[in-house]
């Protein structure tokens, strides 16, 4: 009885095991360079490895169950008197037993003949007793030889039966441990995939507002640019994130700010007070820059209020479905109709949040001015793509659940919660 499928499964497990020993980038770690990813499995390869390991485990479990059934059937069959090997053993044992009885009878006949020879008186009686004794000894020799042959045949029959039982058990042993090995491979593959799913920080992926004024008068329209730069060593698929909020306004209600964006193919409106990904960039090579046009209209009925905008780059590449660039916050004011603004008024990344000292990646207040609205940047910002002021906490994994660095409780509730949810949803969509 052959177990072809179990053997194939065992072989598949052995082949699949080395694949799942590969690992992916750690959560929210700095993005790997091109050199570092040359020998790293892609996310698609990790997905396939996990799927293959899952399938191998399922097949190993089924193969073991089938192997158990086949082993029991094989052993039951070998224990049946009708099985050729068992029948041969029974017949050989019977023949050996009969041969042993014949030998015992021959031994007794020799003993009796020897006693008769000793008791004989006359020469005639002695001659007859001698002939009987010699004949008995010949019969005993034949009986001994017959018993030896019968014993050997019985031993061969029992060995053949035992070998068949051992072969059945050995065949089952091939798949007996396969589920355990396949489960280890499956867990390793799942862990590698889970690691790859965790969000990776890329400080070089910057999203900066260029030309956003710090004061906007009601009833006016402001044009500015969101400049997305891939300052990393990786080719990325980028979805810039934009969010605008006016103090006193709540999610779901009509805002006094109407914001539209364009990548050169018409204008599209942002969804009110909801954070949104805009201007999908399918392939952004290292060093490339893309400008997204933004247009902000302020309703004439708008009253004086504080407002802010958040910008960040959410991305993915062949190795990570979730890559997060630093988030920038720009504070600006809404002024009533007829207010005057000076030409030098421009928005800059906002003040550091109250949780900066709780985030190991956050700069302390006052250490850097951050990039300006016109695209200027300090030396630190130019080198890393980040500035201390307005560089918000990255979100996207459980390790980033600390409150975002936004100023004020209202901002934390309305801004951080909404943006966190959108970035997490985007990361999940890329998986």
When pLDDT is cut at 50, 70 and 90, the band that residue 255 belongs to is: confident
* pLDDT reading at 99 higher than 90: yes
When pLDDT is cut at 50, 70 and 90, the band that residue 399 belongs to is: very low
Distance CA(326)–CA(371), nearest Å, equals: 13
* pLDDT reading at 1 higher than 90: no
In contact, 242 and 270? CB cutoff 8 Å: yes
pLDDT value for 353: 35
Average pLDDT along the chain: 78
Give the three-class secondary structure for 83: coil
- The position carrying tokens 């409106």 is 269
Distance CA(219)–CA(135), nearest Å, equals: 137
* pLDDT reading at 354 higher than 90: no
- Per-position b or e across 188-223, b if 16+ CB within 10 A of its CB: bbbebbeebbbbbbbbbbbbbbbbbbbbbbbebebe
Distance CA(312)–CA(147), nearest Å, equals: 94
pLDDT value for 165: 95
When pLDDT is cut at 50, 70 and 90, the band that residue 15 belongs to is: very low
When pLDDT is cut at 50, 70 and 90, the band that residue 349 belongs to is: low
* pLDDT reading at 425 higher than 70: no
Measured on CA atoms in the order 426, 387, 289, 295, is the torsion positive or negative? Answer: positive
Distance CA(1)–CA(227), nearest Å, equals: 70
At 178, which helix (H) or strand (E)?
helix 178-197
What percentage of the chain exceeds 70 in pLDDT? 71
* pLDDT reading at 274 higher than 90: no
- Model confidence over 288-297: pLDDT tens digits? 999 999 999 9
When pLDDT is cut at 50, 70 and 90, the band that residue 20 belongs to is: very low
Q: What is the CA radius of gyration of the chain?
A: 44
Q: What is the end-to-end Cα distance of the chain in Å, rounded?
A: 45
Q: Report, as an integer, the average pLDDT of 44-58.
A: 96
pLDDT value for 420: 57
Residue 243 tokens, joined: 């969010």
* pLDDT reading at 74 higher than 60: yes
Rounded (10°) angle between helices 4-16 and 178-197: 40
User: Ramachandran region of residue 248, left (φ > 0), alpha (ψ -120 to 50) or beta?
Assistant: left
Distance CA(89)–CA(145), nearest Å, equals: 20
Q: Report, as an integer, the average pLDDT of 53-79.
A: 96
* pLDDT reading at 156 higher than 90: yes
Q: Report, as an integer, the average pLDDT of 173-181.
A: 94
pLDDT value for 417: 57
Scanning 222-274, the segments in alpha helix (DSSP H) are none
Residue 214 tokens, joined: 């710090």
Q: Report, as an integer, the average pLDDT of 1-9.
A: 36
Domains of the chain with CATH codes: 1-198 (no CATH), 203-430 (2.60.40.10)
pLDDT value for 135: 94
Burial of 284 (0-12, 13-18, 19+ CB in 10 A): buried
In contact, 386 and 344? CB cutoff 8 Å: no
């Amino acid at each position: 009885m052959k177990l072809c499928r179990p053997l194939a499964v065992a072989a598949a497990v052995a082949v699949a095991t080395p694949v799942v020993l590969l690992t992916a980038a750690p959560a929210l770690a700095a993005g790997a360079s091109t050199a570092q990813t040359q020998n790293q499995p892609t996310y698609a390869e990790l997905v396939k490895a996990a799927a293959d390991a899952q399938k191998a485990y399922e097949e190993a479990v089924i193969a073991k169950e089938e192997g158990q059934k086949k082993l029991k059937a094989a052993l039951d069959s070998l224990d049946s008197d009708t099985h050729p090997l068992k029948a041969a053993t029974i017949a050989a044992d019977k023949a050996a037993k009969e041969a042993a009885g014949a030998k015992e009878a021959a031994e007794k006949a020799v003993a009796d003949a020897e006693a008769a020879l000793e008791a004989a008186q006359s020469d005639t009686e002695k001659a007859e007793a001698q002939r009987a004794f010699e004949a008995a000894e010949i019969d005993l020799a034949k009986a001994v030889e017959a018993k030896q042959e019968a014993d050997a045949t019985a031993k061969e029959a029992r060995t053949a039966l035992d070998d068949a039982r051992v072969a059945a058990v050995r065949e089952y042993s091939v798949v007996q441990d396969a589920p355990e090995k396949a489960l280890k491979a499956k867990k390793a593959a799942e862990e590698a995939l889970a690691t790859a799913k965790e969000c990776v920080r890329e400080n070089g992926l910057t999203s900066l507002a260029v030309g956003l004024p710090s004061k906007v008068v009601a009833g006016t329209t402001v044009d500015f640019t969101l400049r997305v730069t891939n300052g990393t060593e990786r080719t990325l698929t980028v979805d810039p994130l934009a969010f605008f909020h006016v103090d006193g306004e709540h999610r779901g209600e009509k805002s006094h700010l109407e914001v539209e964006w364009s990548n050169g193919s018409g204008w599209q409106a942002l969804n009110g007070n909801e954070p949104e990904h805009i201007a999908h960039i399918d392939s952004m090579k290292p060093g490339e820059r893309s400008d997204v046009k933004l247009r902000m209209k302020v309703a004439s009925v708008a009253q004086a209020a504080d407002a802010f905008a958040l910008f960040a780059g959410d991305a993915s590449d062949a190795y990570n479905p979730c890559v997060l660039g630093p988030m920038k916050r720009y504070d600006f004011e809404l002024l009533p109709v007829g207010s005057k603004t000076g030409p030098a008024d421009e928005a800059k990344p906002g003040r550091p949040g109250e949780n900066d000292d709780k985030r190991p990646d956050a700069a302390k207040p006052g250490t850097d001015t951050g990039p300006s609205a016109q695209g200027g940047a300090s030396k630190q910002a130019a080198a890393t793509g980040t500035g201390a002021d307005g560089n918000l906490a990255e979100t996207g994994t459980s390790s980033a659940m600390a409150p975002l660095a936004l100023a004020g409780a209202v901002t934390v509730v309305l801004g951080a919660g909404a943006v966190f949810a959108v970035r997490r949803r985007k990361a999940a969509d890329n998986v």
